[in-house]
Structure 1
Amino acid sequence: MQKKRAKETLTLKSDRTPIRVGISIGDINGIGPEVIIKALNNTEILMDCTPIIYGSTKTMAFHKKAIGDDLFNYQRVTDAQDAQDRKVNIVSCWDEVVDIQLGKANETGGKYAFLSLEKATQDLAAGKIDVLVTAPISKETIHQAGFKFPGHTEYLADLSGKEDALMMMVSGDLRVALVTSHIPLKQVIEDVTQERILAKIHELNKSLKKDFGIIRPKIAVLGLNPHAGEKGEMGTEESEQITPAIQKAMEEGIVTFGPYPADGFFGSRQYANFDAVLAMYHDQGLTGFKSLAFDDGVNFTAGLPIVRTSPDHGTAFDIAGKGVASEQSMRSAIYLAVDIYRKRKFIKEINEDPLPKRVIREEKKSKYF
């Protein structure tokens, strides 16, 4: 059981108005449709959200039969605006019968994952859905289908007009964000600069306040090298890039500590003393996180004007269609998206200025949001 730490947080009043949750289907040859079916096959979740799945009724029927589910019910809608509360809705993104090959990584799976994602993001931009939850994709197969981004995070950042977004893994009070995400390890050293680290600290601090209601966040920053550089014996990135960024953040009023050696930090449970952890690269942060919270972890894309979450697991082709995939991470992703949406709305309302303000600086325009 993760140790709880008392902290100041904003209290959000109960709001049972269902949030319109768009769900992209992911790779149809993987476990995405299965965990969607299992996560939504509980009437309790329909009290908090109106699920709108982007795929096709034929595809969902195939997966429903494959896992032997006789209870999951849904309705087809031609437009997300027609979705009914307290029901599972499916927006058909294609009408043809697809050759689904469970457990196979092929271009077909990537093609329909991309079609689903495109339609869902278009509806998100149009205000037809409130938040987006993305089922797992295979980067290999979706790239074969013409997807030109390393992952969901970079794709949504581009559509939002942001050069970068903050990838954050969440499970309860455990939050792990990344300075770099989907890049080769040999490129990490080049990208771990004082400016980039400081920018990520700012994004993380902002998200903790806006998305989680933490009034004065406390952030831990990990080192890059073994033993956090061992005072220069195992690398100088800590002294030349990471420590100066931490000091600058502290000077700017952000409560930031480190750099900590990653292994000892997670092994000794020091993460319980902080509101969030900033890791330098993908496996450094996600290995520690998934060791602690694999079953219910959620991938949250912070720093964007929209809310997007995803299960923290992949397509799991090896167990696709066998009915054994756990839906807990998908369910947690749906609930986290709803919670963040309501938290943002609440914080915006209590901070609204009754006097209109005049915008004097033009922001970078996004493609969609």
Structure 2
Amino acid sequence: MPSNSPVIAITVGEPAGIGPEISLLAAWALRNEVRPVLLGDAAYLAMLAHDLNKEIRLMGLSQQALRFNGLPGCGRDQITVIDCPLNAHVVAGQLDPRNGRAVLQTLDVAIESVQNKWCDAMVTAPLQKSTINDAGVPFTGHTEYLAEQTKTAQVVMMLACEVSATLPQPLRVALATTHLPLREVADAIQFDPLLNTLQIIHRDLQDKFGIAKPRIFVTGLNPHAGENGYLGREEIEVINPVIQQARSLGMDVRGAFPADTLFQQKYLKDADCVLAMYHDQGLSVLKYASFGLGVNITLGLPLIRTSVDHGTALDLAKLGTGLADAGSMKVAIRMAAEMVKRQALAAVN
């Protein structure tokens, strides 16, 4: 592992799900490419690692030692675990709200580690929102929590997948709205937030993805992009004026396109990112094309954060270890590392 390898903080997510397993497997598999640092219960991860692969070696580090000395040196055959102790015994597949606050603590320590430059980026395994809420902490998701904790006024959720047998070029889909009930989406499509979203996408595609002149395609909200107002006026009154304003600011933004026809190769080959108006409008297509190999990225943060494209898979975890696929976690770690390198290069230039 080169001495300048990106240091990636990896939160292991809901302990009763597959997050700890895929985090261990991916970290061990990529230890020669990056320096992975796991955040979770050190004792539980050691026990799980022994069941998965007896060659996996972990080195526990207390939060107090981290804050006092920073990260210690670590060879390629040992992975550091920042200990975030759980409050209750883990039963695979069974949620326990007593562990909700400990899961949240892994996020807090990961944010702290990146802000203090102990780590270069953070990658998150899936967590269970209900467990954290049941622990007495209002929580709507990673994206919103990271924005709140870093005091970021607006962030953008984007999923991305790399080239594969079914995708001849990378596919990136960002969202104008994220975790909202469908009946609230239309009211949330407003001029200033939508323009800010396009500016965030444009800037991060340049800084973190190395795309000098990003091309952003925008979907309409309504069927047939409103069909000239017959099927809704959001395109006429908000979306198209925002696109025109973005273009006047020098951004290559096109649309609004009907969402049911935009996701075809003949259109996507000219797009670096598609901005969809709501969660399922954009992510259903991307997950169909790449589920298990996609990456969730939070744009607009003052740090790099990626995640897997799937949930906690409690049912799979309940069946035992050795069944979970760490593919998406590996891609998320690699993508975070590439973003670190591109951002560093951009800062030099």
TM-score, normalised to structure 1, is 0.85
**Are 1:140 and 2:130 counterparts?**
yes
Distance 1:297 1:120 in 2: 22
Aligned counterpart, 1:103: 93
Please state how far the C-alpha of 1:271 moved relative to its aligned partner. 2.1
In 1, Cα distance between equivalents of 2:3 and 2:229: 54
Tell me the secondary structure at the aligned position of residue 47 of structure 1: coil
**CA gap 1:227/1:20 in 2 versus in 1, 3 angstroms:** same
1:183 counterpart = 2:170: no
SS at match of 1:289: helix
Instruction: Pick one of 36, 39, 44 that aligns with 1:59.
Output: 44
1:344 Cα shift?
A: 0.8
Aligned residue pairs total: 332
Aligned pair 1:24/2:21, yes or no? no
- Within 5 Å, give how 1:32-51 maps onto structure 2: 32-42=19-29, 45-51=30-36
* Offset of residue 266 of structure 1: 1.6
Match of 1:308 among 283, 305, 309: 305
Q: Structure 2: which 5+ residue stretches go unaligned? A: 163-169
2:294 maps to amino acid: G
Contact 2:225 2:257 survives alignment (8 Å): yes
For residues 43 and 295 of structure 2, what CA distance do their matches in structure 1 show? Answer: 28
Q: Check conservation: 2:46, 2:58, Cα contact below 8 A.
A: no
For residues 269 and 157 of structure 1, the distance between their equivalents in structure 2, rounded to whole angstroms, comes to: 35
Amino acid of the residue matched to residue 333 of structure 2?
I
The answer (yes or no) to whether the contact 2:87–2:98 under 8 Å persists in 1 is no
Question: Separation in 2 of the partners of 1:268 and 1:23?
Answer: 34
Offset at residue 237 of structure 1 (A): 0.7
- Per-residue deviation at 1:48? 2.7
Q: List structure 1 segments (4+ residues) > 3 angstroms apart after TM superposition.
A: none
Residues 86-134 of structure 1: CA deviation (Å, up to 9, x unaligned) = 231111122x684111112331342331122222222222222111111
Q: Which one is further off, 108-117 or 152-161?
A: 108-117
Alignment of 1:95-174 (within 5 A): 98-172=88-162, 173-174=170-171
Which deviates further from its counterpart, 46-55 or 197-206? 46-55
Match of 2:53 among 55, 69, 83: 69
1:272 shift after superposition: 2.6
State the Cα deviation string for residues 163-203 of structure 1 (Å, max 9, x = none). Answer: 21111111122111111111221211111012221111111
Question: Which residue identity does 1:349 align to in structure 2?
Answer: V
Contact 1:246 1:256 in 2 (8 A): yes
2:267 is equivalent to residue 270 of structure 1: yes
- CA distance in 1 between counterparts of 2:276 and 2:60 reads 42
Structure 1: runs of 5 or more not aligned:
1-14, 351-369
Q: Which residue of the partner structure matches residue 338 of structure 1?
A: 337
Q: Distance in 1 between matches of 2:84 and 2:115?
A: 17
Residues 169, 312 of structure 1: 8 Å contact kept: yes
Q: Give the Cα–Cα distance (whole angstroms) in 2 for the partners of residues 182 and 153 of structure 1.
A: 9
> Helix, strand or coil: the match of 1:40?
helix
**Aligned CA distance change for structure 1 residues 322 and 151 (closer, same or farther; 3 Å):** same
3-state SS of 2:31 partner: helix
Counterpart of 1:299 in structure 2 is 296
1:258 aligns with 2:248: no
C-alpha change, 1:240 and 1:27, in structure 2 (3 Å) is same
Separation in 2 of the partners of 1:280 and 1:298?
19
Alignment deviations for residues 54-93 of structure 1 (CA, whole Å, 9 cap, x no partner): 1122211343355x43332222223251251423111112
* Structure 1 vs Structure 2 CA RMSD: 1.8
d(CA) in 1 for partners of 2:311 and 2:321?
16
Q: Is the 8 A contact 1:308 1:337 kept in 2?
A: yes
Q: Aligned residue for 1:12? A: none
The alignment-based identity, stated in percent, is 35
CA contact 1:73–1:88 (8 Å) conserved in 2: yes
Cα pair distance change 1:62/1:185, threshold 3 Å:
farther
Whether the 8 Å contact between 1:59 and 1:98 is mirrored in structure 2 is: no
Residues 115-160 of structure 1: per-residue CA shift (max 9 Å, x gap): 2222222222222211111111111111222433311111111222
Of 92, 102, 123, 2:83 maps to 92
Contact 1:16 1:48 in 2 (8 A): no
**Inter-partner Cα distance in structure 2 for 1:269 and 1:100:** 49
User: How far apart, CA to CA, are the structure 2 residues paired with 1:322 and 1:52?
Assistant: 21
Distance in 2, Cα, partners of 1:165 & 1:337? 17
Task: Output one character per residue of 1:4-28: Cα deviation in whole Å (capped at 9) or x when no partner.
Answer: xxxxxxxxxxx87111111111000
